[in-house]
Structure 1
Amino acid sequence: MQFQHPELLYALFLLLIPLIVHLFRLRKFQREDFTNVKFLKKVIQETRQSSRLKKFLILITRLLLVGCLVLAFAQPFIPASDKALQDSHTLIYLDNSFSMQASKRQSSLLQSSVNELLENLKDENQYGFFTNDSDLFNRSTIELKKELQEIEFIDKQLDFREINLKAENYFKKYSGTNKNLVIISDFQHSLNIPSTIDNKSFNYNFVKKEVQALENISLDSVFIEDSNPESLSLNIQLKTNIEIKEPVTISIFNNEKLLGRNTIQNFEDGLATINFRLQNEKISNGRIEIEDSGLWYDNELFFNINEKQPIKVVIISGSDFDFLNRIYTIPEFETSNFTPNQIDFNQLNTANLIVLNEVDQISSSLLNNLSNIQNNGASLIIIPPEETINYSPILNKLGLPSLGEKLEDERLITRIEYDHPLFQSVFEKRTENFEYPKVLSYFNAASTNPILKYEDGQSFLLESNSVYLFTAPINTKNSNFTNSPLIVPVFYQIGLNALKRNQLYFETGKENKVDIPVELGKDQVLHIKNGDIDIIPQQQNFSNRVEINTSTVALEAGNYEISNTSTNIGNISFNYDRSESNLTYTDISAINNLKIYGTVEEYFSELNAASQITALWKWFVIFALIFLLIEMLLIKFFK
């Protein structure tokens, strides 16, 4: 038993007062003589014995009465555990990612978690609370309950490290207290929970929300397999986490116009691909739909097919350039060829890609134009001639290393930097054994961001700020590179990267850079619109295009219009990342140093039981009243 006000126990010294009064209370008896002395002696003896007993009983009741009153004011209590005597602070993380859309008893896992929190949060307490997209640390419980009812699903998932950092920052202001972090989630692998957790700073409490045998089918991706002027082949990939027994219906719409519908049932290793043949025409608001009872965020996939504008390529060549014309062909490219002495600078300044193929002399006007064009975002390929006369100024101005001495030594081109952005999604697999091209002579150059290397590790092709430099001439006299399998993917990818096309769709929450081929005025900007949504993304205006960046914009999945005030320039589509559809979960039962609960109610029931305090002061008040009653009865009826 412990006391809320133990300093009041000093009042127990008041018990000495009744004792002192009892011990020192002296009564003088006056002697009277009667005739029958023997009888009187007997009466006096019996009266004195009963009086002493009565006084002793009254003393005991008074001592107990005073003692009970003192203990009642000291407010004694019995704690259920040591935690009941500590200040307790609770921080709650609620996972509101898309995987929490899974249904359990006709309610999503997120909604059931919110309902349990609303029922168990006490108004007199204060809690810290955060989700994947919001921090609600300084809220009263009443305010927190209101905001809980407005939580929505989001395409963002914090991992355990981020959750832990938020908890550490929150608990910094509380020292020496009972600190509890409560994580409410379905605990997919994306949380990246370690096998062992250090709980020295605070206690970990996991509330696992799960459903049994959830069947989910997701629209994973869509891409154009091939196209011709009349039609295109649209491939749609689907995923499932269990074996499908019933056929799945897939529908394609442009706005509300149905473009095609088909069914599929055969999934191999959880994957299936279905092909639709569509007319090769603009689809501004494409939408693919399936019907599925699992997660609903992945039942739609938005896309658009805009009218493709060709990438403008200008080739300035002092040598054979026929291999370039065979690569940069219509409809993807619009190619113009010039000699060093006959250049149309109007076409040069509007080009997306410029190729300097073994140009002996670079005039000052060409040098200045190339520098300005590169600053405006155009790409540049430089292939040196046999003798690098006057190349240092242009290389230095473009931020490239100077070409050193020419070496007359045969070298094989044996190494491909597969991780370079130029080769993303180009090669199905990496190979170290292919038909190596070679050069008979080359120039020394510093290995700055190499793409292709010689056998000794020196750079054959390097890149800096979208400027690509070959360190050797690639004409047929000096190299067989133009006849190798590498020639097409290298130049073709450089050409495609010169204008970042509007893809079928982009993923939300990621850095997406898109080139819009439009010329804007000085004070004009591009907008991304969808109904009442009107967003101005981060953008950079070049001479013949505008590059927009959506990394800082919070967008929902859907089709959007790109416009300049009231003029529609094009369309762009966004879809949520499909990683939440994997439905692969962490076995948290094997993790040390944490407590696991099936519901929020289970956690709060245990927390309340551990913090329970049994107050005893009312009992001591009752005992004091009982002893007062006993004293009154003794005084009145005891003779």
Structure 2
Amino acid sequence: MSITYPWFLLSLVTLGVPVLIHLFELRRPQRLAFTNVGFIREVKLISAKQRKLKHIIVLLARIGCLFFLILAFAQPFIPASKEQKTTGSAIAVLIDNSPSMQARGNNEQSVFDDAVEQAQGLPNAFVNNTSFLLQEGPKSILNASAYQAALKQLTISGQARSLKSAIAQTNFSRSRIAQTFIISDFQKNAFSPQFLRGVDSTKDVLLVPIASQEAANVYVDSIALDDAFVRSGNNISLKIRVRNGGNALAKDVQVKLFIAEQQATVYRATIEAGKTSTSVVQVRLTENGLRKCRVEVEDFPVTFDNTYYFTLQPSPQIKVLGIGNTTAALEQLYGNEPLFAFTASQPQSTNYRSLATANLVVLQELPRVDASLRESLTRALQQGTSIVIVPPAGAVGHDTYNQLFRELGIGVVQWEERSSGAPELQEMATPSPQNPFFKDVFAAQNRQPIMPKAAPVLRWSRSGSDVLQMRDGSGYLAGFSNGQAAVYLFSAPFNTTYSDFTSHVLFVPVMYRLAMQSYRSDQQIAYRLNQRAVAFTLPQSVLQKADQVFKLTKDSLSFIPAQRIQAGVLRFDVPSGMTEPGFYALEQNGKKLATLAFNFDKRESELAQYSADDLRKMIGPDQPNIHVYDPAKGGSVASQYRAERVGKPLWRYCLWISLAFLLLEVLTIRAKPKVQANRPAVAA
């Protein structure tokens, strides 16, 4: 046993006070007055032996009460098994406030509330002048009362810091910090043993896992469109994928889909733990405006991820610009489909500014490509416009095309030597049904399809993707990726002398797919709150305004994110204050530009977590500065820490013993002694 304040033991000299009082009481005479002789006959005599024993008990009770009271002030304790580090005078505390902490704990309250309770008790494990640093609160050193007040202000956040960054920060924390408590549920998909490898060995890291109840947790894993183009008035196929991220069977869970505020469909699903269920539902947008949509899952007791928000909006027309000798087939193909906005022009009359606004530029059989057109095409490609090149039959402008190929990043392209007479047409190879370019193009059939024929005038050595090939393995249509856009190169002209491709049934789906792949929409149907950056293409009318400050609003909340504009695309970081899922309006000077849907990170819905024993196995014997405390085994973290690091305090026991001696004294004084009655006196 050790004494915290040994100088208090000097007060033991006061034990002589009750002894002196006792001796003085023995020497003081006692006088009894009697009124008559009859009363004397009723007096009950107390023996001297009984009176002496009572005085001794009272004396010992007073000495014991005073002794243990002095000992309580001296604060004795049993020394700890481990030495407490004193290199820092402040204690850092990190509480995981990610959405997964809303799961129900073993004491019927949320895991987050359990974590806060454990953190509030930590000041009891240290001396009164200990300072604290709350990592998710104010970034300053706090005393115990300010620290506990800051704990009450903590809330769940969709942008909570990851455990990886939290553990890594312990290496860079200020020198006054010697110990860091990390209180979390330690999800398996958010925590890895590698996170602990780089922890500074001079600083203590104390892991406190808070366990949650075993339960099912059904959430929306993803929502995908079968077709990237949403058309008003047409059926839209939505793939809704739900997953059970819990550790129990989810039986007969109801899933509802809402388009705006109208329920579109409802179904039920039974999902085993760790499994998924995908359903395809048909919806239809009757108007052209954006629709706020959501999927609701009736799941209990984990409810923070029961709603998934997303948006649907009919796609705008795809702008296709044809330059050169555009054929009637091409004009009819794009001109008769409302999905496309087709414009045909000649090189000398082309507005080069329109190249940057087009989704697809078809350069068809131009005899030569002048320098200004090459420069405009290169600039348009860099800004995201895809380009289709159909080579000419003549040999006049080969050099200009070679220069264009180099500037577009295609590489070395060889021109076939032109022979006298009509070119010999060769049949193309049947494309693979597994090629994603031809998804849903080829129906199931038993016989070999008849393929178009062509006489290539170009050959290339490499390509990003071969869409169509000749039977000899040479390419007919190949794609060359360039950033967000692509260059598609045909090896033969479209005129009937060199190809019958424009009259083949494959012409329509191929050209449609080229145009559709050129369409890009930076706006997604849903985003995550912890997403690093969001991109949004701005209309020209917005780019011309002087006020270039954009903000996100939801109800009465307003956030101005860090933002920048590059090539007509607004890129902004999700503000740290955005912690709640839902719909946020992107505004400029009070005008709404778009509505964006934000959700929690789906990884938060996976409830599998590491136990205290799992963490100890991960740490092993090589990292003695990392410790694990398990609140589930009885006792708070503060009490476990004190027992291990500070020792077991005994002052409370001393105080109770002192009170027990005081009670003994009171009972002894109030106790009635046993007496014997005198025999009656006999008259002489």
CA 1:157–1:168: 2 relative to 1, 3 Å: same
1:110 aligns with 2:112: yes
Alignment of 1:600-611 (within 5 A): 602-611=636-645
154, 158, 171: which one aligns with 1:155: 158
Task: Find the counterpart in structure 2 of residue 531 from structure 1.
Answer: 555
State the partner residue of 1:333.
340
One of 406, 409, 412 as aligned partner of 2:415: 406
CA contact (8 A) 2:179 2:203 kept: yes
Question: Residue 288 in 1 paired to residue 295 in 2?
Answer: yes
Deviations 1:384-439 (A, max 9, x none): 4455331355456x5636545436799999999x99xx98x999xxxxxx999998
For residues 206 and 426 of structure 1, the distance between their equivalents in structure 2, rounded to whole angstroms, comes to 53
List gaps (5 residues or longer) in structure 1: 7-74, 428-433, 620-639
* Counterparts in 2 of 1:350 and 1:80: CA distance versus 1, 3 Å: closer
| Superposed displacement of residue 271, structure 1 | 1.7
Structure 2, unaligned runs of 5 or more = 7-74, 419-425, 442-447, 621-625, 655-684
* Superposition deviation, residue 100 in structure 1: 0.8
Q: Would you say 1:582 and 2:606 are equivalent positions? A: yes
Residue 168 (structure 1) aligned to one of 171, 174, 179: 171
CA distance in 1, matches of 2:216, 2:294: 23
Contact 1:473–1:479 at 8 Å: present in 2 too?
Answer: no
Aligned equivalents of 1:581, 1:138: Cα separation in 2? 33
Aligned partner (choices 504, 519, 524) of residue 525 of structure 2: 504
Contact persistence 2:523–2:536 (CA under 8 A): yes
Shift of 1:535: 4.2
Distance in 2 separating the partners of 1:479 and 1:95: 65
CA 229–159 in structure 1, closer or farther in 2 if over 3 Å, else same: closer
Amino acid at match of 1:193: S
CA contact (8 A) 1:248 1:291 kept: yes
Offset, 1:461: 3.1
Question: Are 2:570 and 1:548 aligned?
Answer: yes
Aligned-partner residue type, residue 183 of structure 1: I
Which residue is equivalent to 2:242? 238
Which of 106-115 and 552-561 deviates more? 552-561
Is 1:126 paired with 2:131? yes
Measured on the aligned residues, the alpha-carbon RMSD in Å equals 4.9
> Hey, what's the Cα distance between the residues in 2 that align with 1:130 and 1:413?
63
Residue 315 of structure 1 aligns to which amino acid in structure 2? G
Q: Does 1:211 align with 2:212?
A: yes
Aligned to 1:313: 320
Q: Does 1:596 align with 2:596?
A: no
| 415 and 515 in structure 1: CA distance in 2 versus 1, 3 angstrom threshold | farther
Equivalent position to 2:464, from 433, 446, 450:
450
Counterpart CA distance in 2 for 1:536 and 1:84 is 46
Equivalenced residue count is: 525
Q: How does 1:387-402 map to 2 (within 5 A)?
A: 387=395, 388-391=398-401, 393-394=403-404, 398=407, 400=409
CA deviations 1:225-252 (Å, max 9, x no partner) are 4776535345333222443334415251
Deviation at 1:523, TM superposition (A): 0.2
Counterpart in 2 of 1:97? 98
8 Å CA contact 2:91–2:180 kept in 1: the answer is yes
- Give distance in 2, aligned partners of 1:402 and 1:440: 18
Shift of 1:99: 1.0
Aligned to 1:492: 513
Q: CA deviation at 1:302?
A: 1.8
CA contact (8 A) 1:500 1:513 kept: no
* 2:266 equivalent in structure 1: 262
What code does the residue aligned with 2:481 have?
Answer: E
Task: Kindly provide the amino acid, as one letter, of the partner of residue 628 in structure 2.
Answer: I
Partner Cα separation in structure 2 for residue 558 and residue 615 of structure 1: 51
Once the two structures are superposed, the pairs formed by residues 64-75 of structure 1 within 5 Å of their partners are none
Q: Following TM superposition, by how much is the alpha carbon of 1:531 offset from its aligned partner in structure 2, in angstroms?
A: 2.2
Q: Which residue is 2:192 aligned to?
A: 193
Q: 1:137 offset after TM fit, Å?
A: 5.7
The answer to whether the 8 A contact 2:334-2:341 is kept is no
Change (3 A) 1:478 1:607: farther
CA distance 1:509–1:493, change in 2 (3 Å): farther
Q: Which whole-Å deviations, capped at 9, do the CAs of 1:353-381 have from their partners, x for residues lacking one?
A: 32223423123443454455456554434
Q: Aligned residues: percent identity?
A: 18
CA deviations 1:188-233 (Å, max 9, x no partner) are 1222422795574444432221223222121333344477653534
* Contact 1:319 1:475 (C-alpha < 8 Å) held by counterparts: no
Name the counterpart of 2:15: none
Please list, as runs of the form range in 1=range in 2, the aligned pairs for 1:211-230 lying within 5 A after superposition.
211-225=212-226, 229-230=232-233
Q: Which amino acid aligns with 1:523?
A: A
Q: CA deviation at 1:144?
A: 2.8
- Cα distance in 1 for partners of 2:368, 2:617 equals 70
- Higher alpha-carbon deviation: 236-245 or 366-375: 366-375
Rounded Cα–Cα distance in structure 1 between residues aligned with 2:104 and 2:280: 28
Question: How much does 1:336 deviate?
Answer: 1.8
Query: Which deviations, in whole Å up to 9, do the C-alpha atoms of 1:431-487 show, x marking residues without a partner?
Result: xxx999998554557x6x934499799x95323344533565254677899989899
Tell me how far 1:539 sits from its aligned partner.
4.7
Contact kept in structure 1, 2:583 and 2:596, CA below 8 Å = yes
1:461 aligns with 2:479: yes
Q: Is the 8 A contact 2:255 2:298 kept in 1?
A: yes
TM-score by length of 1: 0.67
Cα separation, 1, equivalents of 2:556 and 2:590: 14
Task: Please tell me the residue identity of whatever aligns with 2:615.
Answer: I
The 1-side partners of 2:637 and 2:415 are apart by 75
SS of residue matched to 1:212: coil
Preserved contact between residue 444 and residue 471 of structure 1 (Cα < 8 Å): no
Partners of 1:102 and 1:294 within 8 A in 2: yes
Q: Give the letter aligned to residue 212 of structure 1.
A: Q
Q: Is the 8 A contact 1:405 1:444 kept in 2?
A: yes
User: Which secondary structure does the structure 2 equivalent of 1:462 belong to?
Assistant: strand
CA 1:271–1:376 in 2, change beyond 3 Å: closer, same or farther?
closer
The yes-or-no answer on 1:83 pairing with 2:83 is yes
Relative to structure 1, the CA distance from residue 536 to residue 186 in structure 2 (aligned partners, 3 Å threshold; closer, same or farther) is closer
Task: Provide the residue aligned with 1:252 in structure 2.
Answer: 258
Measured after TM superposition, the shift of residue 503 of structure 1 is: 3.6
Change (3 A) 1:614 1:372: closer
Secondary structure at 2:83 match in 1: helix
Flag the 1:273–1:614 CA change in 2: closer, same or farther, 3 A. closer
Looking at structure 2, the residues matched to 567 and 614 of structure 1 have their Cα atoms a distance apart, in angstroms, of: 65
User: Could you tell me whether the CA contact under 8 Å between 1:439 and 1:474 is conserved in 2?
Assistant: yes
CA shift, 1:110, in A, is: 0.8
Are 2:100 and 2:604, in contact at CA under 8 Å, matched by a contact in 1?
yes
The 2-side partners of 1:486 and 1:369 are apart by 28
1:23-62 paired onto structure 2 within 5 Å: none
Give the secondary structure class of the aligned counterpart of 2:643. Answer: helix
Q: For residues 563 and 206 of structure 1, what CA distance do their matches in structure 2 show?
A: 43
- Shift of the 508–475 alpha-carbon distance from structure 1 to 2, 3 Å rule, reads farther
TM-score normalised according to structure 2 size: 0.63
| Partners of 2:374 and 2:117 in 1: CA distance | 68
Contact kept in structure 2, 1:413 and 1:460, CA below 8 Å: no
What is the rounded CA distance, in whole Å, between the counterparts of 1:297 and 1:489 in structure 2?
A: 45
Which residue of structure 1 lines up, in the alignment, with residue 310 of structure 2?
A: 303
Measured after TM superposition, the shift of residue 185 of structure 1 is 1.6
The 3-state SS of whatever aligns with 2:264 is strand
Q: Distance in 2 between matches of 1:159 and 1:395?
A: 46
Residue 103 of structure 1: how far off its partner (Å)? 1.4
